[in-house]
Structure 1
Amino acid sequence: MPALEDIGASMEEHRLKGLSVAVFDEYGSIATRSIGVRSATGRPITDTTAFSTASISKPVTALLCLTLAQKGLIDLDTPIASSLTRWQLPASDIAGSSGVTWRQLLTHTGGTSQHGFADYYQGDDIPTLIDSVEGRIARYDKPIEFLFPPGEGWQYSGGGYVILQMALEDRTGRRLEDLAQELIFTPLAMRHTTMIQPGQPGFPDDVALVHDGNGTQIRDGLPITPQISASGMWSTPGDLSAFAIAIQRGLRGETVGPVTPAIARAMTDIFSLKYVGGMGMPFFRGFGLGNTDWFRHDGSNTGVNSDLFASMEGGYGFVLMGNGDDDNTGPVFAEARRKIIDAMGWARRHPIADRPLSPAHEAAMVGSYKGLLYDLGLDYTIERRGGQLVIVSEFFSQFLGRDSSPIHHLGDDVFRIEDYPNLLHFEFDPAGRLTGITLTRPGSDAEPFRRPIDEMR
């Protein structure tokens, strides 16, 4: 993997112990590379070394729900309450909360609280799932609750996935880790992937231990996550690539193991452009790095991070996994993304033709915006550099290690940003003043999302 020949210098600078990478293309060709060590003992990371995937567990849980729905064992559009036996949804004054559905929890539109969870280690009192939703765990001192009516908003909720886990197990009478092994990991030949936790029979020996921001191993290095549906899976870049490729092949009409074309679409179809640039179930669809429309999910637990990018068309993508905290993996991952995308030439597969732009409209566009691409509080600036309009933002620094992305005028005041998947329709009044911006996504049935300019300036 020539693109990453010098990534070791960045790893050393940012105290990242180990990095494992897979790059795939043409719906099946997977190249892997592992750099660094599993732990302070110096044992090298290999292609079969599993990492805690953190929240990349959620797409697997979603696939499991869709598979059981296809078998007729559950209905994703019915209230999940009827499948819960060991615990019941909390009483709430929020309208419709008692009828929250499987699909709403899978898409983070269920209105539930509890973003993510702390890890545990051997010797700790390991909480049950009921302890988790009742708030008897680190990070939360009160039970899970509804924050808005189901279906009327979006908020990332690991707690919603814990409810899904309990419903799946209560409904089937089986552990989630066993269901995942039988219905997903074995059919997709994900031989180095498990939802079994450290200390349990069957947990693998070849794993990367977690490290803090100083590069110091955290306790025994093996985090235990009882909320496995949300963040308890362990896997390798190679196995996660196989998982992504199965979905990509489903998107072009094939059935691969449990992944049918209908399931692939259900996981990746955008239900709204309002949230994070576009959301699927549960993939993030608001990323366009390298002029590519991706389905993406990342994972971040204390001392470990992972990131999966897979193209909606073309069968390519990559997976990054590192056994370090956010400050260790963040800059290394940004450099790796940029170098992989550039080396593979993926952006050149989708050339963009520029059309002339009115100087008056360009002058009105140039300037600062709040939350222009993602309504997450980030600042954006449109400016001209070297004869090219660009958009400048911390977002691009965080994900690509460079601060800007070129903007192309497609005509009729519609613009495409090279590293963003939505089209931006800039709207002007008769005097040439900018009045609003509407987001649309080519090839998607998602409704356009418009924001008036006074919300952003």
Structure 2
Amino acid sequence: MRSLILLLLLPFAAGAQSPAENITKVENNLTGWVSIENEPPVRWNIEERLKAHKVPGITIGVIKDYKLEWAKGYGYADKESKVPVTPQTLFQAASISKSLNAVGILKLVQDGKLSLNEDINTYLKTWHPSADSGKITIANLLSHTAGLSVHGFPGYEPGDTLPTVEQILRGERPANTREVKPLFAPGVKMQYSGGGTTVTQLIETTVTGIPYDQYMQKEVLGPLGMTGSFYTQPAPANKIPLLATGYRVDGTPIKGKYHIYPEMAAAGLWTNPTDLSKYIVETQLALQGKSSKVLNQAMTKTRLTPYLNKNAALGVFIVNGQRYFNHNGGNEGFRCVYYGSLENGNGFVVMVNSDNFNIIDEVTRSIAITYGWEKDFYRPDTVTSAALPADALQQYVGKFKFRNVMVTIEAKDGRLYAITNNGTMRMHYTTKGDFVLLEERGRLKLVNGDLVASDGGESIVFTRQP
């Protein structure tokens, strides 16, 4: 009987991959959005892509079966000082801040201090939306259905005078964004609004009397075990050595290393994949009724239920066939993303200290290939390559411009290469008479001498330059 059991278990044991093996596979299977049918698959490693994209550093965490399987950093947190990225390095989470903010606001709902569907003017004392806004609720604010303005925030350089939350909402100096005001009636449609999220920050401090960062530390980050993370702006002195420096697409550092975000609820969280994985796993367990460190099962279900359309829930988006909760982030010099499955306890976090998001997409595809999650994260378009007629090669060579974006096309060894701020990319000619780039989604084609980029029916014309 024992030998039979061992025989039955053998295939499963043989097929299992250790975390170390999975790390190696993720590191070496980065790939593009398209598969070229009659050519060998293109695979890159992380170090190659960091260099190609001019991205100083990246940090990755993968969750499997309700546990963080591994977290690892690559490249530099500060390339000028040669400070390496480690699993403890803190990155700006940007709009991922909104997911944790929603946990904090819904904790107040759960405790009976707020109502999801009450008019927010019930709670506000020092600022109110315009009188003609209609009834705006907490649920509207968290699901981006309040009809309010201001998509996002640029932040402030170190040393700048920081505005109060009320000044931000009024658009008054020293705030560097416009007034948060109604654009349309609440509950009509979803339109992303960091301004609306900032209203929830004011509601929290008004209702509790506790500074926002302190409330989030005590009621959310602490209970979740996110001991390295914080919302405080500017950063506490003891955290500064762990902070990554942000960089532009061309690889130059942000002035002052990073911006400061008094709009803490919308963009102020500093964290890393290790800590964010604790939030993801707790959400997954709470949804199953197996944990309630902050929110109980009922409130977690409410948070993960799309409010008006099929994707926008409360502080999260429900995506990939309604199988994952997710949020992306983009502050000055930082980009990031997380996904958590609604079943089976899987997910991942990827964060970079760069304005370039492309490597995040490439790592996402590598994770999908490694863990067998292709149906959710890697379904490449397939094209067939063709030989570009030699007499057509030079027709494409030149410089092309759309607004302030320049694309330079060069010929080398019988092939064409597109050069942009994102690096040099080979152009693959297809049987449809156009080109694809592995790194950039869409198709390129010459039309009346200009370069036309199209993707899903939308086209942009890059005008040939003299």
Verify same fold: TM over 0.5.
yes
Distance in 2, matches of 1:123 and 1:349, equals: 44
Partners of 1:30 and 1:238 within 8 A in 2? no
Query: Are positions 1:260 and 2:266 aligned together?
Result: no
Structure with larger RCO (C-alpha < 8 A, sep 6+): 2
Partners of 2:248 and 2:254 within 8 A in 1? yes
1:43 equivalent in structure 2: 83
2:248 equivalent in structure 1: 212
Distance in 1, matches of 2:242 and 2:109, equals: 34
Q: 2:104 aligns with which of 59, 64, 83?
A: 64
Spell out, residue by residue over 1:278-306, the C-alpha distance to the aligned partner (whole angstroms, 9 max, x if none).
22112111335xxx821110110111011
Q: 1:18 aligns with which of 57, 62, 65?
A: 57
RMSD: 2.5
2:142 equivalent in structure 1: 106
Counterpart of 1:24 in structure 2: which amino acid? I
Query: Are positions 1:298 and 2:352 aligned together?
Result: no
Spell out, residue by residue over 1:229-283, the C-alpha distance to the aligned partner (whole angstroms, 9 max, x if none).
0000100111101101111111222123103211221221123446xxx221121
Partners of 2:144 and 2:312 within 8 A in 1? no
How far has the Cα of 1:84 moved from its partner?
A: 1.2
Distance in 1, matches of 2:251 and 2:232, equals: 26
Q: 1:4 aligns with which of 27, 31, 38?
A: 27
How far has the Cα of 1:222 moved from its partner?
A: 2.9
2:166 equivalent in structure 1: 130
Spell out, residue by residue over 1:67-113, the C-alpha distance to the aligned partner (whole angstroms, 9 max, x if none).
11111111121111121122222233x4x2xx211111111111110
Partners of 1:168 and 1:176 within 8 A in 2? yes
- Match of 1:55, SS state, is helix
Query: Are positions 1:168 and 2:204 aligned together?
Result: yes
Partners of 1:111 and 1:146 within 8 A in 2? yes
Query: Are positions 1:287 and 2:333 aligned together?
Result: no
How far has the Cα of 1:136 moved from its partner?
A: 2.9
Query: Are positions 1:318 and 2:348 aligned together?
Result: yes
- Match of 1:122, SS state, is coil
Q: 1:89 aligns with which of 125, 129, 134?
A: 129
Distance in 2, matches of 1:271 and 1:403, equals: 32
The verdict on how the C-alpha distance between 1:403 and 1:22 changes in structure 2, with shifts beyond 3 A counting, is farther
2:387 equivalent in structure 1: none
Counterpart of 1:45 in structure 2: which amino acid? V
How far has the Cα of 1:346 moved from its partner?
A: 2.6
- Match of 1:36, SS state, is strand
Partners of 2:146 and 2:185 within 8 A in 1? yes
Partners of 1:188 and 1:256 within 8 A in 2? no
Partners of 2:167 and 2:175 within 8 A in 1? no
The verdict on how the C-alpha distance between 1:125 and 1:189 changes in structure 2, with shifts beyond 3 A counting, is same
Q: 1:331 aligns with which of 347, 358, 370?
A: 358
Query: Which TM-score applies when normalising by structure 1?
Result: 0.71
Spell out, residue by residue over 1:386-439, the C-alpha distance to the aligned partner (whole angstroms, 9 max, x if none).
xxxxxxxx9x988xx7779xxxxxxxxxxxxxxxxxxxxxxxxxxxxxxxxxxx
Distance in 1, matches of 2:288 and 2:55, equals: 37
The verdict on how the C-alpha distance between 1:202 and 1:70 changes in structure 2, with shifts beyond 3 A counting, is farther
Runs of at least 5 residues in structure 1 that lack an aligned partner in the other structure: 351-393, 405-457
Partners of 1:117 and 1:139 within 8 A in 2? no
How far has the Cα of 1:215 moved from its partner?
A: 1.1
The verdict on how the C-alpha distance between 1:235 and 1:103 changes in structure 2, with shifts beyond 3 A counting, is same
- Match of 1:156, SS state, is coil
Counterpart of 1:294 in structure 2: which amino acid? Y
Distance in 1, matches of 2:438 and 2:301, equals: 31
Counterpart of 1:286 in structure 2: which amino acid? V
1:373 equivalent in structure 2: none
The verdict on how the C-alpha distance between 1:197 and 1:397 changes in structure 2, with shifts beyond 3 A counting, is farther
Aligned length: 346
Spell out, residue by residue over 1:172-213, the C-alpha distance to the aligned partner (whole angstroms, 9 max, x if none).
100111111111111111111100123545644311111111
- Match of 2:93, SS state, is strand
Query: Are positions 1:32 and 2:55 aligned together?
Result: no
Query: Which TM-score applies when normalising by structure 2?
Result: 0.70
Which stretch of the first structure deviates more once superposed, 279-288 or 39-48? 279-288
How far has the Cα of 1:123 moved from its partner?
A: 1.7
1:145 equivalent in structure 2: 181
- Match of 2:202, SS state, is helix
The verdict on how the C-alpha distance between 1:216 and 1:138 changes in structure 2, with shifts beyond 3 A counting, is farther
- Match of 2:121, SS state, is helix
* Larger of the two Rg values belongs to structure: 2
Identity score, percent: 30
- Match of 2:141, SS state, is helix
Distance in 2, matches of 1:177 and 1:53, equals: 15
- Match of 1:205, SS state, is helix
How far has the Cα of 1:347 moved from its partner?
A: 4.2
How far has the Cα of 1:142 moved from its partner?
A: 4.1
The verdict on how the C-alpha distance between 1:207 and 1:201 changes in structure 2, with shifts beyond 3 A counting, is closer
Distance in 2, matches of 1:78 and 1:12, equals: 51
